Structure 1
Amino acid sequence: MTRACDIETVFRAEYGRAVSVLVRFLGDIDLAEEAVQDAFTTALDRWPRTGPPPSPAGWIITTARNRAVDRLRRESSRPTRHAEAARLHATDAPPEEGPVRDDRLRLIFTCCHPALAPQARVALTLRLLGGLSTAQIARAFLVPEPTLAQRLVRAKAKIRAAGIPYRVPREADLPERLDAVLAVVYLIFNEGYTGDADLCAQALRLGRLLTKLMPDEPEVTGLLALMLLIEARRPARRDTDGSLVPLPGQDRARWDGALIAEGQELVRRCLHRNQPGPYQIQAAINAVHSDAPTAAATDWRQILCLYDQLMTVAPSPVVALNRAVAVAEVEGPARALDLVDALELGRYHVLHAVRADLLRRLGRPGEAAHEYGAAAELAESEAERAYLERRRRETSPPETRPTEAPRPTGT
């Protein structure tokens, strides 16, 4: 007997596949979504009694197609609507699985089209390929549900009004368009890493899907490797009291060895291709971190070399800031502080946190405490704010330290 949780598993695995096939078949995103949702509602009613079909994905696609035709017939108040229903009914039924590769890629590139606002790309990707509800996406990104709903409505209207094609870009346009797709997936992952683990799971699933569908694109492989190696550290990122533990202080025995092994294998695959890109280089940096049994054993010279390469391939102030952290380990905190002070990232809380750590190491606790406080004020997540506030209190000179009860710590 099929349980509701089994159908939920099918939903998570097959929703994006079914919607992508139905969008190609119907040419209408809203109608495709409604038809697939109707099909899963029918499955919830029928499968517990009859058992799942041999091909759940094919059953969902076929049932959704039939529901769409029925809906068009019911709503055929105009001759054109009736003609459309007749045309769809006469069309040969799609294969059970549909041309999975092309359909899912088409939908990904449609959701991440550069004509759409960045927030809309993320919302559409999570909605149409991830199967997340409007409420789930709104909660994940801390926006009101009506705001998120309007964002989705406007994005779909933009696709219709602008005639955004439902297809994989031409080869000449693929690199630029692929960058937008990868940026959306990585944004989803980063949003999840600061709070919502389900978003990380969605990003990893999308990364695995892209790697399967585009195995010859090294940056796709690099992004998946990067996310796996970062996600592997999640179990050690919080102390027993829930407080944040930065990378140097993490218990590496708690890192997920299977994810590290998978990520490192993908990095090696990228190295063999010898076509370095930003995601591949960042993955290689994280692979070096994952190789070190302790923080003290980290090969910072290799990491610095990789950051030098990243600054050549994709220079940015944030990359320069991360490079300065490696410089501090290789050349000392004074040299790193000079580099940090030359950056224009005043509203970026990580800059203040890095500067605070360098000042602390240089024996300037008052200035360090001030920078930790500035970082805490700018941090977006509660966990980061709490950690930075704790560092501020610990670093403050005794004569300026606030008089308050000590905060209990973990182990």
Structure 2
Amino acid sequence: MKYNFDKIIIRENTASVKYDLRKEIFEKEDVIPMWVADMDFKTPDFIISAIKERLNHEVFGYSVRPKSYYTSIVNWVNRRHNWEINEDWISFSPGVVPALNMLVLALTEKDDKIVLQPPVYHPFFYAINNNNRQLVENPLVLKNGRYQIDFEDLEQKLRGAKMLLLSNPHNPVGSVWTKDELQKIGEMCLKNKTLVLSDEIHSDLVFKPHQFVPMGSITKEIADNTVSCIAPSKTFNMAALATSSVIISNKELKEKYDQILETIHIGMGNVFGTVASEAAYAHGDEWLNQLMEYLSKNLDFLENYLAKNIPQIKMIRPEGTYLVWLDCSNLNLKGKELTKFMIEEAGLGFNDGRIFGAGGEGFIRMNVACPKQTLLNALNKLEQAVNKL
């Protein structure tokens, strides 16, 4: 393997959310942090080189995003996901979460109903509640080891709803929605005049044989009723560079979003985020392919270790994302007891499943985007703690 994903990088004292906020978040500094969705791997050299080249210019005045930046995005989604988009469909956001909030503000009104599918990424709840919209839940259903959409319930929940917040690949449960599932969602939303806001930030992180299908690639009608959010941040471990894309083929919807950007004056972005994103999309294929091989092996290792040594904990194997949804209900720890056990007895920092809403009780979310040795250390600690229960 050309790239070294086994190297352990010391991240303490770098203002890292994952490492330097452990005391505030877990009330302990010596936990292994496996919660927030960034990777413990080095950002690839071709991105670092692009940043250094721009840095060496030594002038950081006002900047724009060049045509080559937009071209790199168009080529990437075509190459990786067989999705043909136009450059003028692309708008900027400093992140997908800010984009979700701005899109809710731009495309819905106060008290409008917005549907989400728990257990789901917790900022979805904030985007609805903090902007004074009505939250409507369409809970996912676990069948044969895979979370699926309850379409009968969704059909009812979409009635009168202005927007559906879709997570694809789904965070935290790891389902990658199929083309048939997406088409069904898209047609139901068209029927009910419900906009689809699709968070596709994990779209590059899909494991074989599964394939990511962009919501905007299904049909023109569905595309014109869809807004998609993507970013290189998860894929290439560059969240701190604050650069994401909002893809909107519907001119009227795009004008509404762009007006929000203009109103709050955050459309300029960061010059280093721009050059890093362009480098990632232009040169990232081989690195990403090897990353996915490594992550797949980490999943294999985790699955086998749990089955052999900690059978009380059941793994929902993700079809996409490097986040693993673990069923800890057999440990018989309720509410805060599970999180407290993981922190105090196992010395591990996970996401409490309850923050993801309905269906999260008894679950934790685990980030496996780390060197295998880190994963092994964590599993050894988890096994020892569970054996003492």
TM-score tier by shorter-chain length is: under 0.3
TM-score, normalised via structure 2 length: 0.23
Structure with greater strand share of residues: 2
Tell me the TM-score normalized by structure 1: 0.22
Look at both structures and tell me which one has the larger radius of gyration over its CA atoms: 1
Specify which structure has the higher proportion of helix: 1
